[in-house]
């Protein structure tokens, strides 16, 4: 899918370069000047050398002085050039890492609704592609600075060379000398300079067009390929599924086909782009040959020396080089600039949900009240309501259980409370103020959540519990003890400092699903946020572990406002209030005894579960199973 991008100004590009790496432009100008001078000095020397060698009064001493000064100047310029080049390289790397750091920061800082927005993800992929293929801002600076410096040198020197060549006249005025003195020779010379320069514009535009297509094509491919590599080939969990469910390696074949298609397309576009550039080189080489002939005529006619022929052709070659280079930059800069535009579009992607600036009042009494006021929510691109006209108010310190069948909207409500999604209609209020008015990062700090799909990182146990807050080993130990996993951590090779999984550290510890879930619970407790939300936190726990967690429930929750989502109806025993969701709406709300009396959905869910697990029921089912199977 072609990626649309806004056009930004050169000022903006330079601003980005300055933010990432100040002084880049200055260093590049110095490097370009030295490189250009090296070219001109070499050509001048060659001309002078040939003049000396062919002069009637050629003198050995003068030759030695000439060669000696040339070698000294070239040596000094080479050393200076090398030193500057090192800085150019360092700057290029700094810009590369700077751009990566900016992109990573953006990804981590945007609000969740933006983070999952497909348009934003496309922009991210486009920005990555642009960093990878255009060299980003460093290529831009190198291209622009080299072209401008080359152009200035070319204008000055071409002007001077052409004036000298035009005014240098042969003494005779017949035959070849007449032609050498005629303005036609000058016109031919000008035409020879103009031809490759004029050809460079359409050819580099053509080459750039192919590069553009290459970009657009790559954005989509890179996204898909990153998914395959990170989430399928390199992922432990996917690794199990693939081995059991994909014995014929269909995923690999699919990836292979995708790669082949990409490879063919890449090749086609690269070959086309290179062909356009090659035509340019062929024209250039032919023109240089023709220039030798034309300037040579001046030499043959005696208007200038042989050494001057070599020097002037050399100058004109430099001039043509500089001009074609500039034209090439103008043509290809479209591709580089598009890459930069894509990067800036991503960095400046508007994050509408981050507009609230109100700070969250820090309260030691945790006196925060949340009101869900007639909230409805539809997932982006979906027609059906995941939540419809939900109203709810949480009292401070209350323990609330959220129950309901699969897909009834429990997790969605949690996403809205924690502002991982924003209501499509209605409002959520914190202490009477619309949650959107608060700074979202501060707002999210009042919640600790154990998500259904919680994720531990391949870092140390301590880092997983404390995340990026202050690491207090005693509190981390307390958290792990309350969650019932301290014994296991103690047995790990480096205790709290043991990395989880072997993804990054070969000495890391692999743990069971239940142990991982306990660490996720410890992480939520450690955060010490006023609201603690547990979405199916004991799903992976064995009955004894679950029982133990329930035993420590008071210690875990302390005086916090707690929301507990579980399909195990018995777990609602800790909740003062039970809210029942069905098809995205609240259908019941009250205490256990009252809801049981109502004999509504809660009663049915509770009874159904109780019924499936009564001793008699299990016994009867056991007998059926036993009767159907005998061991011979
Ligand atoms: N990212 C999503 N995009 C679109 N629809 C979604 C998304 N996540 C959930 N839904 C839909 O929204 C509705 C509510 O889902 P939700 O996850 O809130 O249910 P739940 O009560 O937590 O279910 P469960 O008990 O299975 O965890 C469901 O119909 C679900 O299919």
- Higher-scoring residue by pLDDT: 544, 522: 522
Q: How far apart are alpha carbons 376 and 388 in whole angstroms?
A: 4
Q: Which whole-number Å values give the CA distances from 354 to 109, 110, 269, 579, in the listed order?
A: 10, 8, 41, 30
Q: Determine the average pLDDT of the residues in 312-329.
A: 84
Q: Compute the distance from residue 558 Cα to the ligand 1 centre, in Å.
A: 30
pLDDT, position 2: 44
Q: In the predicted model, what is the mean pLDDT of the chain?
A: 86
d(CA 245, CA 229): 18
pLDDT digits (tens, 9 = 90+) for 126-137: 888 777 766 678
- Number of Cβ within 10 Å of residue 372's Cβ equals 21
Residue 581's beta-bridge partner residues?
A: 586
How far, in Å, is the centroid of ligand 1 from the Cα of 376?
Answer: 14
Choose from 4-13, 443-452, 609-618 the range with maximum mean pLDDT.
Answer: 443-452
pLDDT at 34: 95
Ligand 1 atom with minimal separation from the 409 CA? 18
Q: Residues 358-414: pLDDT tens digits?
A: 998 887 777 889 999 999 999 988 999 999 999 999 877 888 999 999 999 999 999
Closest Cα to atom 6 of ligand 1: 379
Going by alpha carbons, the residue nearest to atom 19 of ligand 1 is 407
Q: Which residues share a beta bridge with 373?
A: 427
- Strands laid side by side in the 561-565 sheet: 447-450, 531-535, 561-565, 399-403, 577-582, 585-590
Nearest CA to ligand 1 atom 12: 386
**Ligand 1 mean position to 379 CA, how many Å?**
9
| SS3 of residue 446 by DSSP | coil
Q: Would you state the pLDDT for residue 306?
A: 87
| Ligand 1 binding pocket mutation candidate from 403, 412, 418, 566 (most atoms within 8 A of CB) | 412
Give the per-residue pLDDT at 125.
83
pTM over 0.90: no
State which of 381, 410, 583, 585 you would mutate to test the pocket of ligand 1, scoring each by most atoms of that ligand within 8 A of its C-beta.
410
Asked whether residue 491 carries a pLDDT value surpassing 60, the answer given is yes
- Tell me, in angstroms, the distance from the centre of ligand 1 to residue 413's CA: 10
Ligand 1 centroid–CA 464 distance in Å is 27
- From CA 145, how far away is CA 267, in angstroms rounded? 30
Give residue 4's pLDDT: 59
The predicted pLDDT at position 24 comes to 93
Q: Report CA(582)–ligand 1 centroid distance (Å).
A: 12
Expressed in angstroms and rounded, the spacing between residue 535 Cα and the centre of ligand 1 is: 13
pLDDT category of residue 554 using cuts at 50, 70 and 90: confident
Best residue for ligand 1 mutational test, from 409, 452, 582 (most atoms within 8 Å of Cβ):
409
Q: Lowest mean pLDDT: which of 243-247, 521-525, 604-608?
A: 243-247
* N-terminal to C-terminal alpha carbon distance within the chain: 62
The three-state (H, E, C) secondary structure of 587-627, written as one string: EEEECHHHHHHHCCHHHHHHHHHHHHCCHHHHHHHHHHHHH
Beta bridge mates, 401:
564, 578
What are the residues whose beta carbons fall under 8 Å from the beta carbon of 164, sequence distance 6 or more?
A: 312
Distant-in-sequence, close-in-space partners of 216: CB < 8 Å, separation ≥ 6: 1, 2, 3
Q: What is the mean pLDDT of residues 312-328?
A: 84
CA of 324 to the centre of ligand 1 (A): 59
List ligand 1's pocket residues with C-beta within 6 A.
379, 382, 386, 404, 406-412
Rounded-to-integer distance, Cα 283 and Cα 278, Å: 9
Rounded CA-CA distance 436/417 in Å is 11
pLDDT score for 348:
94
In the predicted structure, residue 164 carries a pLDDT above the cut 60: yes
Ligand 1 center to 409 CA (angstroms): 6
Q: Render pLDDT for 463-484 as a digit per residue (tens, 0 to 9).
A: 999 986 788 999 999 999 999 9
- Token readout for 519 is 């660490």
Min mean pLDDT across 291-305, 351-365, 367-381, 576-590 is at 351-365
Q: What pLDDT was estimated at residue 170?
A: 80
pLDDT at 1: 42
The pairing of strands 433-434 and 425-430 is antiparallel
Residue pair 440/419 in contact (Cβ under 8 Å)? The answer is yes
Residue bearing tokens 């951590």: 489
Select the more confidently predicted residue: 173 or 293.
Answer: 293
pLDDT tens, 7-38? 888 899 899 999 999 999 999 999 999 999 99
Q: What's the pLDDT band for 511 if we cut at 50, 70, 90?
A: very high
Highest mean pLDDT among 421-430, 495-504, 619-628: 421-430
Look at ligand 1, atom 29, and give the residue with the nearest C-alpha: 407
Looking at residue 526, its pLDDT comes to 93
482 token code pair? 């309350």
Separation of alpha carbons 632 and 621, rounded Å: 21
CA distance 469 to 271: 52
Cα of 562 from ligand 1 centre, angstroms: 21
In terms of pLDDT, which residue wins out, 379 or 159?
Answer: 379
Of 411, 413, 539, the residue with max ligand 1 atoms within 8 A of its CB, to mutate for a pocket test, comes to 411
pLDDT at 297 over 60: yes
Q: What is the CA radius of gyration of the chain?
A: 37
Q: What's the pLDDT tens digit per position in 230-279?
A: 888 888 778 878 877 787 788 888 888 988 988 888 888 888 878 877 88
Domain 10-349 fold: ABC transporter transmembrane region fold (1.20.1560)
pLDDT of residue 204: 78
Q: How far is the CA of 551 from the centre of ligand 1 (A)?
A: 30
Q: Is the pLDDT assigned to residue 299 strictly greater than 80?
A: yes
**What sections of 535-583 are H helices per DSSP?**
543-551, 553-557
For ligand 1, atom 2, name the residue with the nearest CA: 379
For 170, which DSSP code?
A: -
pLDDT of residue 180: 83
Shortest-distance Cα residue to atom 31 of ligand 1? 407
Residues in the chain, total: 632
14 CA from centroid of ligand 1 (Å): 46
Q: Highest mean pLDDT: which of 49-53, 371-375, 467-471, 513-517? A: 371-375
Instruction: Kindly report the number of other CB atoms within 10 A of residue 369's CB atom.
Output: 14
Nearest CA to ligand 1 atom 26: 406
Average pLDDT, stretch 168-174? 79
**CA–centroid distance, residue 564 to ligand 1 (Å):** 17
- Which of 116, 390, 408 to mutate for ligand 1's pocket (most ligand atoms within 8 Å of CB)? 408
**pLDDT at site 477:** 96
Query: What local confidence, expressed as pLDDT, does residue 631 receive?
Result: 62
Which residue's CA is the nearest one to ligand 1's atom 28? 407
The confidence band for 595, taking pLDDT boundaries of 50, 70 and 90, is: very high
Ligand 1 closest atom vs CA 581: 21
Distances (CA, A) of 334 to 4, 50, 240, 379, 385: 14, 43, 46, 38, 44
Per-residue confidence (pLDDT) for residue 319, from 0 to 100: 84
| pLDDT per residue as tens digits for the range 192-219 | 888 888 888 888 778 777 777 777 777 7
- Which pLDDT score, from 0 to 100, does residue 520 have? 94
Q: What is the DSSP letter of 376?
A: E
Instruction: Tell me the average pLDDT across 293-312.
Output: 88
């Amino acid at each position: 899918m072609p990626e649309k991008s806004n056009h930004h100004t050169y000022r903006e590009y330079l601003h980005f370069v300055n933010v990432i790496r100040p002084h880049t432009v200055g260093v590049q100008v110095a490097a370009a000047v030295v490189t250009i001078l090296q070219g001109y000095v070499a050509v001048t020397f060659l001309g002078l050398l040939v003049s000396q060698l062919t002069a009637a009064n050629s003198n050995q001493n003068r030759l030695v002085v000439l060669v000696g000064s040339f070698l000294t100047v070239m040596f000094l310029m080479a050393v200076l050039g090398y030193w500057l080049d090192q800085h150019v390289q360092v700057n290029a790397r700094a810009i590369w890492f700077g751009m990566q750091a900016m992109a990573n920061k953006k990804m981590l800082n945007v609000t969740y609704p933006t983070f999952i927005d497909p348009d934003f993800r496309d922009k991210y992929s486009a920005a990555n592609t642009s960093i990878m293929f255009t060299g980003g801002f460093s290529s831009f600076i190198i291209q622009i600075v080299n072209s401008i410096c080359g152009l200035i040198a070319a204008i000055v020197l071409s002007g001077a060379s052409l004036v000298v060549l035009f005014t240098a006249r042969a003494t005779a005025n017949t035959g070849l000398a007449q032609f050498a003195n005629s303005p036609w020779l000058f016109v031919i010379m000008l035409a020879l300079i103009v031809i490759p320069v004029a050809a460079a514009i359409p050819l580099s535009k053509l080459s750039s067009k192919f590069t553009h297509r290459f970009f657009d094509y790559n954005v989509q491919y890179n996204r898909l390929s990153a998914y395959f590599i990170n989430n399928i080939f390199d992922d432990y969990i996917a690794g199990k599924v693939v081995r059991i469910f994909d014995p014929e390696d269909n995923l690999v074949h699919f990836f292979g086909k995708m790669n082949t298609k990409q490879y063919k397309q890449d090749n086609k576009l690269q070959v086309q782009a290179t062909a356009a550039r090659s035509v340019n080189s062929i024209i250039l080489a032919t023109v240089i040959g023709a220039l030798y002939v034309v300037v040579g005529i001046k030499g043959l006619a005696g208007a200038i020396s042989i050494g001057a022929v070599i020097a002037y052709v050399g100058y004109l070659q430099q001039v043509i080089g500089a001009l074609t280079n500039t034209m090439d930059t103008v043509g290809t800069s479209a591709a580089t600039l598009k890459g930069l535009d894509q990067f800036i579009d991503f960095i400046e992607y508007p994050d509408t949900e981050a507009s609230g600036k109100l700070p969250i009042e820090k309260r030691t009494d945790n006196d925060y009240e949340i009101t869900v006021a007639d909230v409805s929510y539809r997932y982006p691109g979906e027609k059906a309501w995941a939540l419809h006209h939900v109203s709810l108010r949480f009292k401070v310190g209350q323990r609330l259980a959220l129950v309901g069948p699969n897909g009834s909207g429990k997790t969605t409500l949690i996403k809205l409370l924690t502002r991982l999604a924003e209501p499509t209609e209605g409002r959520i209020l914190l202490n009477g103020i619309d949650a959107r008015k608060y700074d979202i990062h501060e707002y999210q700090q009042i919640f600790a959540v154990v998500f259904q799909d919680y994720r531990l990182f391949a870092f140390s146990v301590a880092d997983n519990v404390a995340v990026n807050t202050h690491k207090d080993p005693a509190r981390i130990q307390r958290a792990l003890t309350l969650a019932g996993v301290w014994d296991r951590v103690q047995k790990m090779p480096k205790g709290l400092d043991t990395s989880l999984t072997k993804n990054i550290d070969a000495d890391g510890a692999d743990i069971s699903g239940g142990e991982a879930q306990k660490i996720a619970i410890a992480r939520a407790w450690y955060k010490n946020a006023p609201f603690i939300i547990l979405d199916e936190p004991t799903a992976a726990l064995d009955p004894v572990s679950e029982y133990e967690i329930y035993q420590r429930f008071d210690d875990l929750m302390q005086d916090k406002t707690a929301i507990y989502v579980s399909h195990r109806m018995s777990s609602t025993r800790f909740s003062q209030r039970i809210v029942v969701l069905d098809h995205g709406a609240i259908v019941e709300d009250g205490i256990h005894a009252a809801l049981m009396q109502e004999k509504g959905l809660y009663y049915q869910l509770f009874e159904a579960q109780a019924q499936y697990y009564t001793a008699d029921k299990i016994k009867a089912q056991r007998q059926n199973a036993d009767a159907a199977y005998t061991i011979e």
